[in-house]
Amino acid sequence: MREFKILIVDDNLDNIRVIANILKANPKYNFLYATNAQETFERTKEYRIDLMLLDIMMSPVDGYNIARTLKKDPNTKEIPIIFISAKSDNESILEGFLSGGVDYISKPFNPFELEARVDNQIRIRIAQEEKMMSVQSEIIDIIATLGEEQSIGTSSKHIQRVTRYATLLARLAKLPQKQIDEIELATPLHDIGKIVIDQEILNKQDKLSLEEFNKIKTHPAVGYEIFKDSPRDLLQAASIIAHEHHEAFDGSGYPRGLKGNAIHIYGRIVAIADVFDVLTTKRAYKEAWSLEKAKEYIELERGSKFDPDLVEIFVDHFDQFEKIYKKYN
Ligand SMILES: [Fe+2]
Ligand SMILES: [Fe+2]
């Protein structure tokens, strides 16, 4: 289950303790602390904060000004801020909302009230995230379908299987749930860059010439270009996967010849999933390999083409990959 990071900002440590003690009843809440503006900005740079509880009377920079600064920065402007203050006059409360707060709690407060208001903001946060994910995955579906209709030489079955293998590998590698979701939703676009390559080359039955192969090799960079400027997490993931799924662990891959962990974990995972599927299915230019032979090949390329740790996981749980193969072939 996803955890939520709550940043409590107060120049008085006792106040922070009181708030954390009330809210820790919810096991999904994780707490971070800051006692001044500088620490607050450090935390928001370092962590992805889900909610901030912000005191007002602090020096030299007060809570209102901290909020205004955060709202001006595209990286932090989405963080919901609840002001908590001993000031309970109308003007102070208004100032709280004007400086970007989503809620205002005056002290002394009732613990239930604090809990309820925090829970509300977190619920809104979850709903927004779900909406975002579903909008993005809809966009991805549309683009992936467009790609299929253009017959980019990548069948929908290939896309399905690669996505399933990659998601399974991500889960077995114990990636955080958010990353597993991103791999599952963005992998269908790994070959979308082929959309700019001539049909003739993509569907060619004979061996490709060097020139034709070089054309095909442009697809990772094209896929990357399509999504690279999107601020959306899922489309960023699509851009990384498109760009890095043909990189090799020893630096012999393309387009950039990245090495080892310089290749994003998404790229390293999809590389194994993609090659495994290409090997085990029939192509115009080759017969399908047996599962055993494909597994041996991947083991052989441990540390050269593929991330050695991921190969180990893949081999150790091979029966699960076999199951997907049987189900989707
Ligand atoms: Fe590819
Ligand atoms: Fe592929």
Query: Which residues have a Cβ under 8 Å from the Cβ of 232 and sit 6 or more positions away?
Result: 132, 136
User: Is residue 205 domain-shared with residue 288, that is, in the same domain?
Assistant: yes
User: Is residue 103 domain-shared with residue 29, that is, in the same domain?
Assistant: yes
How far is ligand 2, taken at its centre, from the CA of residue 226, in Å? 17
316 domain residue, yes or no: yes
Higher confidence at residue 65 or residue 284?
A: 65
User: Is residue 194 domain-shared with residue 299, that is, in the same domain?
Assistant: yes
pTM: 0.72
237 domain residue, yes or no: yes
How far is ligand 2, taken at its centre, from the CA of residue 109, in Å? 57
Query: Which residues have a Cβ under 8 Å from the Cβ of 12 and sit 6 or more positions away?
Result: 35, 55
| CATH code: domain of residue 315 | 1.10.3210.10
Q: Looking at the predicted structure, is the pLDDT value of residue 183 above 90?
A: yes
| CB 10 within 8 Å of CB 39 | no
Q: What is the pLDDT of residues 290-307, one digit of tens each?
A: 999 999 999 999 999 999
pLDDT, the chain, mean: 93
User: Is residue 173 domain-shared with residue 36, that is, in the same domain?
Assistant: no
User: Is residue 76 domain-shared with residue 179, that is, in the same domain?
Assistant: no
| CB 49 within 8 Å of CB 74 | no
256 domain residue, yes or no: yes
User: Is residue 21 domain-shared with residue 108, that is, in the same domain?
Assistant: yes
How far is ligand 2, taken at its centre, from the CA of residue 176, in Å? 24
| CB 9 within 8 Å of CB 66 | yes
Ion ligand 1: residues, CB within 5 A, are: 191
| CB 244 within 8 Å of CB 187 | no
| CB 57 within 8 Å of CB 95 | no
**Which segments within the chain are labelled E, that is strand?**
4-9, 29-34, 51-55, 81-85, 103-106
How far is ligand 2, taken at its centre, from the CA of residue 174, in Å? 23
C-alpha to C-alpha distance for 69 and 57, rounded to whole angstroms = 16
pLDDT for the residue 18:
96
Higher confidence at residue 207 or residue 66?
A: 66
pLDDT for the residue 113:
95
56 domain residue, yes or no: yes
Shortest-distance ligand to the CA of residue 255: 1
User: Is residue 94 domain-shared with residue 165, that is, in the same domain?
Assistant: no
User: Is residue 96 domain-shared with residue 155, that is, in the same domain?
Assistant: no
User: Is residue 117 domain-shared with residue 157, that is, in the same domain?
Assistant: no
Domain-ending residue, one of 124, 159, 174:
124
Mean pLDDT of 126-146: 85
Shortest-distance ligand to the CA of residue 157: 2
Domain that holds residue 307: 150-328
| CB 288 within 8 Å of CB 281 | yes
Domain-ending residue, one of 124, 140, 174:
124
144 domain residue, yes or no: no
User: Is residue 37 domain-shared with residue 161, that is, in the same domain?
Assistant: no
Domain-ending residue, one of 72, 107, 124:
124
Number of domain units in the chain: 2
List residues with catalytic annotation: 194
* Cα-to-chain-centroid distance, residue 267: 13
| CATH code: domain of residue 84 | 3.40.50.2300
DSSP 111-149: HHHHHHHHHHHHHHHHHHHHHHHHHHHHHHHHHHHHHHH
Q: What is the CA radius of gyration of the chain?
A: 25
Shortest-distance ligand to the CA of residue 162: 2
23 domain residue, yes or no: yes
How far is ligand 1, taken at its centre, from the CA of residue 315, in Å? 22
User: Is residue 178 domain-shared with residue 319, that is, in the same domain?
Assistant: yes
User: Is residue 172 domain-shared with residue 263, that is, in the same domain?
Assistant: yes
Q: Looking at the predicted structure, is the pLDDT value of residue 152 above 90?
A: no
